[in-house]
Structure 1
Amino acid sequence: MIFHHSRRVFLLGSLHARMLDLRPDPELLYISAMFHDTGLLIPFSDTQQRFEVDGADHARKFLLERGFSESAAEVVWMAIALHTTPEIPGRLGPEIAATNYGVLTDAIGWGMDRLESGRLDEIVAAHPRGDFKKEFLQTFVDGLKDRPDTTYGTVNSDVLEHFVPGFRRTSMVERVNNAPWPR
């Protein structure tokens, strides 16, 4: 499921980039797409940090070990670390924006109406969705349930709140009120 999702993210992000006249490095966009959800999976999900950072750290290490430049590794790191962050990726570099656009399109259908339906059909034929909605959400639950505090301030807390009995997101108001300051 993650493989096909990641390939669709790359292809959908590429279509959005072409339509918006962005010019991402295709190799960096591909690596960003392929690694963007690895932080949900073992062994990359065993740290107490956001899954996006887990995946970004893993991709950076992968690139540097293979001789990519620090700047290339930083672009990929940012694309993965920010792929679930609303609004910001679209204002950054083309690889970062295109990764986010591909994720949004595959996960929630964002921008589908602007893409050629024939191209969408080709992508889904090559990389089927199967029971994507159910499997995708279950992957989130499995990857986050043992580290729920990492979901603060992210869309990931929505998933846990919906599927994990007893989970309740911590609000910013609670964090401020519970800070160790006297006032």
Structure 2
Amino acid sequence: MRLADIVVPDTQAARGALEVATAYCTAALLNHSVRAYLWAAAYGAMNDIAFDAELLYVASMLHDIGLVEEFDSHTVPFEEAGGHVAWVFAAGAGWPVERRVRASEVVVRHMWDEVDPAKDPEGYLLELSTALDISGRRPEDFPAELRAEVLRAYPRAGIGPYFTMCILDQAGRKPDSQAGRLARSGIAELMAANPLEG
């Protein structure tokens, strides 16, 4: 598996989601979102997991949008805020209600500890890919050459300190959220030890 082998959907919704992420995310968060899709799509292809590439791409671009100031919520966890943004985006893209709900679910579930691939392959792949990119979980599941190619094309650009700051901020305001759990589990140390940072 090489970077060129990963299929990136070229649809109006996919292009729009990238445009939104580019407009609102820092360079570090944007590259993280792109890598999240690439890791997810590569893993799905390498392990014969059928998935909806457009849905996965849109969710990947928007999965951390709840961390940015314009969409930060003081009432719900950032992944739920992001899920609402995904639903609204999907409505604007003309997706039917069921597909809007799926976009929201995938965004929310990327913060779950575990997602059943049989019930939600896109949620499973996004949870797996973001865990790799943030905490360095299971890098051995991806060929070293692919990892190097992706990181060259989409550098980490300081995602470790930036994401840690965002999570600690969320945890301080929403201690019962998954961000609070991540903060208590030592997110800064996990990110510093991430082999992708090397």
Cα distance in 1, alignment partners of residues 65 and 52 from structure 2: 21
Q: Counterpart of 1:136 in structure 2: which amino acid?
A: F
When structure 1 is superposed on structure 2, of 111-120 and 38-47 the one drifting more is: 38-47
- Asked whether 1:58 is paired with 2:88, we answer no
Aligned partner (choices 110, 126, 144) of residue 83 of structure 1: 110
Q: Does 1:156 align with 2:180?
A: yes
Over alpha carbons, which structure has the higher Rg?
1
Q: Distance between the aligned counterparts of 1:47 and 1:53, measured in 2?
A: 11
After superposition, give the CA deviation of every residue in 1:96-151 in whole Å (9 maximum; x if it has no partner): 11111111111112221021111111111111013322221012223443x22452
Question: Per the alignment, do residues 89 and 4 of structure 1 end up closer, same or farther by CA in structure 2, a change over 3 Å counting?
Answer: farther
Asked whether the 8 Å contact 1:31–1:76 carries over to 2, the reply is yes
- Please state which structure has a larger fraction of its residues in helix: 2
- Partner AA of 1:57 in structure 2: H
Cα distance, 1:94 vs structure 2? 1.6
Measured in 2, the distance between the counterparts of 1:135 and 1:2 equals: 8
Residue from 77, 99, 121 that aligns with 2:126: 99
Equivalent position to 1:31, from 53, 58, 61: 58
Question: Residue 155 of structure 2: which of 112, 119, 128 is its match?
Answer: 128
TM-score by length of 2: 0.73
TM-score using structure 1 length: 0.79
Per-residue deviation, 1:162: 5.9
- Residue in 2 aligned with 1:170? none
Alignment check: 8 A CA contact 1:59 1:77 kept: yes
Whole-Å separation in 2 of the counterparts to 1:160 and 1:60: 30
Runs of 5+ unmatched residues, structure 2: 1-27, 188-198
The letter of the residue matching 2:63 is H
**CA RMSD, aligned part only?**
2.0
Q: Contact (CA 8 Å) 1:6, 1:36: kept in 2 or not? A: yes
Q: Alignment identity in percent?
A: 22
What do residues 58-91 of structure 1 show as CA deviations (whole Å, max 9, x unaligned)? 0110111120122221221111111111123545
Q: 1:94 to 1:161 in 2, by over 3 A?
A: closer
Q: Measure, in 2, the Cα distance between the counterparts of 1:161 and 1:99.
A: 21
Q: Read off the aligned partner of 2:97 and give its amino acid letter.
A: E
| Counterpart in the other structure of 2:164 | 137
Task: Look up the equivalent residue of 1:18 and give its one-letter code.
Answer: A
Distance 1:48 1:150, change over 3 A: farther
Structure 1 equivalent of residue 69 of structure 2: 42
